């Protein structure tokens, strides 16, 4: 992965816009954009960027988006599973309400039948 892509990923992970990073390093947003697109950056500017992003040069060199892709995939799967579980809970809540209504209806029917039965005996 080229230097510009790494910088862009790290910047977005830190929730910084290009403008905000540019302000931190006393450069223009256009320069940050150029660096991210081309990967071309001099050593001094790269050092300043890494300091602003709070990452060491060694960590920057070893940085890869492979873990991020796996994390995003896992995050997506968890969100999908949560959505399915919420739908199931909603379904069961509706079913529970219907069962409560059915029970109430059955109780009323039983009460009517018991009243009729008492009326015959009385």
What is the tens place of the pLDDT at every residue in 68-82? 555 555 566 666 777
The residue assigned the tokens 């081309």 is 38
Q: What Å distances lie between residue 77 and 46, 68, 80, 84, 91, CA to CA? A: 35, 14, 5, 11, 21
How much is the pLDDT for 94? 93
- Higher confidence at residue 99 or residue 85? 99
Q: How confident is the model over 57-73, as a mean pLDDT?
A: 69
- Say if pTM beats, i.e. exceeds, 0.85: no
Q: What are phi and psi of 32, to 5 degrees?
A: -60, -45
Length of the chain: 122
């Amino acid at each position: 992965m080229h230097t510009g892509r790494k910088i862009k990923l790290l910047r977005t992970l830190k929730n910084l816009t290009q403008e905000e990073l540019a302000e931190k390093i006393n450069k223009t947003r256009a320069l940050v954009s150029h660096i991210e697109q081309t990967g071309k950056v001099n050593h001094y500017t790269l050092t300043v960027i890494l300091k602003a992003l709070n990452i060491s040069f060694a960590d920057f060199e070893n940085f890869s988006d492979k873990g991020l892709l796996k994390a995003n995939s896992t995050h997506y799967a968890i969100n999908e599973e949560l959505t399915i579980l919420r739908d199931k809970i909603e379904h069961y809540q509706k079913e529970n309400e219907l069962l409560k209504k059915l029970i109430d209806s059955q109780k009323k029917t039983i009460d009517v039948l018991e009243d009729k039965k008492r009326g015959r005996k009385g």
